[in-house]
Amino acid sequence: MGKATGFREYNRENPKKRPVEERVKDYKEIYYKLPEDKLSLQAARCMNCGTPFCNWGCPLGNLIPDWNEMIYKGEWNKAFERLSITNTFPEFTGRICPALCEGACTLGINRDAMSNREIELSIIEKAFKEGFVKPNLPRVRTGKNIAIVGSGPSGLAAAAELNSVGHTVTVFERADEIGGLLRYGIPDFKLEKYVVERRVNIMKEEGIIFKTNTNVGVDYPSEELLKNFDVVVLTGGSTIPRDLKVEGRELKGTHFAMDFLRQQNRRVAGKEILEEEITAEGKVVVVIGGGDTGSDCIGTSIRQGAKAVYQYEVMPKPPEERDDSMPWPTFPRTLKVTTSHEEGCTREWCVNTQNSQERMEC
């Protein structure tokens, strides 16, 4: 490990955020990056546990103690190589992952957990800046043709992995741009789209073929797909929203979150809006649902000039600290205050949407 006593000597330091009054005027990313000297100290806090539960908590199984030690020693290229073993797109996860690894961090038992997500993001951004990230071209081609339907995170990851072992991969996307949820779901203030384009350009250099504006089963018959490809991988994602069957659902001004967010992402990209425009400008907005998508709608509504924003959550308000109901190393379901909440929002818990808004017994 880098420094045996680092976890005792250094406190967790989070990256600073742009001031609220500044960031709500645009759709640029919110966080500043920590300088390398401070990142080194944050990496030194890693205890390099005999059984690193961060690896267990991470859905990808990232080798977190390894690259923490490398960053402490200033070995950025080695850290990038180690991170790339398990994570195909650290630039995405480093921005939008809920950092389950930090919830499982051993330090979290009685101290602030490691800053794993910030370190991960810094590794990949440094790798792009220094030219460590290069197209991963296969040495030979297998002669097998693979179709991937859907170009969201899972589709892109499948394409990268299958291409790396020599298969010829074609990705079909029904939208006009590659990225799926990354492109037209997540707001730019959380994930600027140059990040997606940068990765897609590398994948094109690797030989991956992308076909946009192609709705498989409509523009491209499924029979043709099965005839032209040896394998078909379906990565269409969850594109059908869960409706709320209550009185008044059909009234004007009630929209699904993804319709709202997709339109704004198109505006930021300078693209034409073909359907009826959805805007929160000058309106009182109610967001039903307390998760990340609801938070994205809050931040977007504020930037559009909403008069006021309310968020209703059916669940009780979570505790601010980990309690006995969420023992380590499980992910702590504590109160989450996002950057969008900080920008101005009234949050209500135990509210069930029925024929009228009624407060539940909690």
Find the range with the poorest average confidence among 68-72, 171-175, 306-310, 355-359. Answer: 355-359
Question: Does domain 145-234 match CATH 3.90.700.10?
Answer: no
Same fold, 6-130 and 257-359: no
Burial class (CB in 10 A: 0-12, 13-18, 19+), 248: exposed
pLDDT tens, position by position, 250-293: 889 999 999 999 999 999 999 999 899 999 999 999 999 999 99
Contact call for residues 89 and 156 (beta carbons, < 8 A)? yes
pLDDT tens, position by position, 177-215: 999 999 999 999 999 999 999 999 999 999 999 999 999
The long-range contacts involving 81-86, CB below 8 angstroms and separated by at least 24 positions, are: 81/132, 83/120, 83/123, 83/124, 86/60, 86/61, 86/62
Hey, what CATH class is 6-130 in? mainly alpha
Q: What percent of the chain has pLDDT over 90?
A: 88
Domain-wise residue ranges, the chain: 6-130, 145-234, 257-359
Domain 257-359 carries which CATH code?
3.50.50.60
Contact call for residues 15 and 34 (beta carbons, < 8 A)? yes
Preceding omega of 15 cis (within 30 degrees of 0): no
CA distance 60 to 101: 10
Helix, strand, coil share (%) of the chain residues, nearest 5: 40, 10, 50
Residue 78's pLDDT is: 98
pLDDT tens, position by position, 33-82: 999 999 999 999 998 888 899 999 999 999 999 999 999 999 999 999 99
For residue 357, pLDDT beyond 80: no
Residue 248's pLDDT is: 85
CA distance 261 to 225: 31
pLDDT tens, position by position, 126-149: 999 999 999 999 999 999 999 999
Find the range with the poorest average confidence among 139-148, 215-224, 242-251. Answer: 242-251
